[in-house]
Amino acid sequence: MTLDELRDALAPLIPGNAAFDGWSDKALAMAAAELGVPADRAKLAFPGGSVQMIDAWFDATDRGMAAAFPPERIAGMKIRQRIRDLVLYRIEAMAPHKEALRRAFAILSMPQNALSAAKLAWRAADRMWRLAGDTATDFNHYSKRGILSALYTSTMLVFMDDESEGLAETKGFLDRRIDDVMRFEKFKAQWKGGGERVPSLSRFLGRLRYPAI
C-alpha cells in the first residue's frame, strides 16, 4: 500500500485502540498490527501525529456517510430531514468509540489545535451540505456552513454526555436546534433586502453553541 492507502486503512482501526491508549503511537502501533504492518511504517503515514490520526478518522466517517447517502436516497428527502439524518449518521457512526471521541475532543480543544479543530468542523459541515444538494456560491454558502458547523459541534457535545435510550436526548436537542435554524432562515428571508436591519449571524451561532437546554 502507498502511505495514503495505509492511512485510509488505519483510520477506522485507530479509535478502537485510542479509547484505551489515547491518540498515541501505541494506539497506532496496535492498529498497524491488526493489518500486519510494521509500526514504523504506520508512523510514516501520520507525520502530523494525533491530530492527523483524528483527521483521518473523521475523513473515514465522511466517506462512509457519502456511501450511505447516494443521490437517489437524498432526492426523496426534504432539506430538514437531509441535514438531520446526515448529522445523526456521523454521531451514530462514532458512538461505538465514544471514549476515543472524548479524547479526540480534548486534543482538539487545546489552544495550539484550535485552527485544526475549526477546519475539521467546517469540513464536516461542507460535506454534509454538499451531500444534501447545496449549490450556493454566494454568502449563503458560508453562512450555511457556519451555522451547521455550530449546530453539529453543539450536538456532538450533548451526545458525549447522553446516556438516554436510543440517544433520545441528543436527537431531541438536534431537532430543537434545527427548528432554530429553520426559523432563522425564514426570518432572514423576510428581512432580505430590507437594508435597515440585518440578522446577526455571530449572535445566532453563539445561541447554537451555548443554548439553553
Q: Hey, which of 19-23, 184-188, 202-206 has the most confident mean pLDDT?
A: 19-23
Which DSSP letter does residue 24 get? S
Which DSSP letter does residue 211 get? -
Contact 149, 121 (CB under 8 A): yes
Instruction: Sketch out the chain's domains with CATH numbers.
Output: 3-209 (1.10.357.10)
% of the chain exceeding 90 in pLDDT: 77
% of the chain exceeding 70 in pLDDT: 86
60 vs 195, higher pLDDT? 60
Other beta carbons within 10 Å of 73: 12
Task: State the pLDDT at residue 182.
Answer: 76
Query: Would the pTM count as exceeding 0.75?
Result: yes
Task: State the pLDDT at residue 62.
Answer: 96
Sign (positive or negative) of CA dihedral 112, 113, 118, 123:
positive
Interatomic CA distance for residues 93 and 100, integer angstroms:
12
Task: State the pLDDT at residue 212.
Answer: 47
Average pLDDT, the chain: 89
| Per-residue model confidence as pLDDT tens digits over 26-76 | 999 999 999 999 999 999 999 999 999 999 999 999 999 999 999 999 998
Question: What's the one-letter identity of residue 162?
Answer: D
Assess whether pLDDT exceeds 90 at residue 201. Answer: no
Interatomic CA distance for residues 198 and 106, integer angstroms:
36
21 vs 194, higher pLDDT? 21
- When pLDDT is averaged across residues 121-134 and rounded to a whole number, the result is 94
Interatomic CA distance for residues 29 and 15, integer angstroms:
12
Assess whether pLDDT exceeds 80 at residue 191. Answer: no
| Per-residue model confidence as pLDDT tens digits over 90-127 | 999 999 999 999 999 999 999 999 999 999 999 999 99
